[in-house]
């Protein structure tokens, strides 16, 4: 088995946050590995989280707080599920060691790279 510590494993994350009156949908996309690197695998994951929300639109500040809450906390809630999926998939390959993604503040990284799109549903 090859050791994944010897490979440069690139990742790309993005998310769409859509919310309406009662629910929010967070669609998180992740690509691990690519054709250009020595990484022995490419994994594409699209994970959707559905969150029930209770929210009254009082003023614009309330809307901004909701957007911030969803783009930070909801995205952060989904990241461990992606980590688990990547570890599970790579553990079954039997060609290389299991790849374990690092613990990270993924919401902060995505925000800094403008990788979070916020949509308001009617």
pLDDT digits (tens, 9 = 90+) for 3-44: 555 677 889 999 999 988 889 999 999 999 888 767 888 999
Domain boundaries, the chain: 4-115
| Residue 3 and residue 96 in contact, taking contact as beta carbons nearer than 8 Å | yes
Q: Is the pLDDT of residue 117 over 70?
A: yes
Q: Is the pLDDT of residue 118 over 70?
A: yes
Q: Does domain 4-115 have CATH number 3.10.420.10?
A: yes
| Residue 24 and residue 74 in contact, taking contact as beta carbons nearer than 8 Å | yes
Look-up of token digits 């902060």: 108
> So what's the pLDDT on residue 35?
80
Structure-token pair, residue 11: 């990742």
Q: What DSSP letter does each residue of 13-57 carry, written as one string?
A: EEEEEEE-SSEEEEEEEEEE--TTSS-S--EEEEEEEEEE-----
């Amino acid at each position: 088995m090859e050791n994944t510590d010897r490979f440069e494993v690139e990742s790309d994350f993005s998310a769409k946050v859509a919310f309406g009156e009662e629910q929010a949908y967070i669609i998180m996309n992740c690509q691990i590995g690519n054709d250009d690197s020595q990484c022995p695998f490419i994994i594409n994951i699209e994970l959707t989280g559905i969150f029930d929300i209770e929210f009254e639109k009082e003023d614009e500040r309330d809307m901004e707080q909701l957007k911030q809450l969803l783009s930070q906390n909801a995205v952060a809630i989904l990241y461990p599920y992606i980590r688990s999926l990547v570890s599970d998939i790579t553990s079954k390959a039997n060609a290389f060691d299991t790849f374990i993604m690092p613990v990270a503040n993924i919401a902060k990284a995505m925000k800094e790279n403008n990788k979070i799109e916020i949509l308001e549903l009617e």
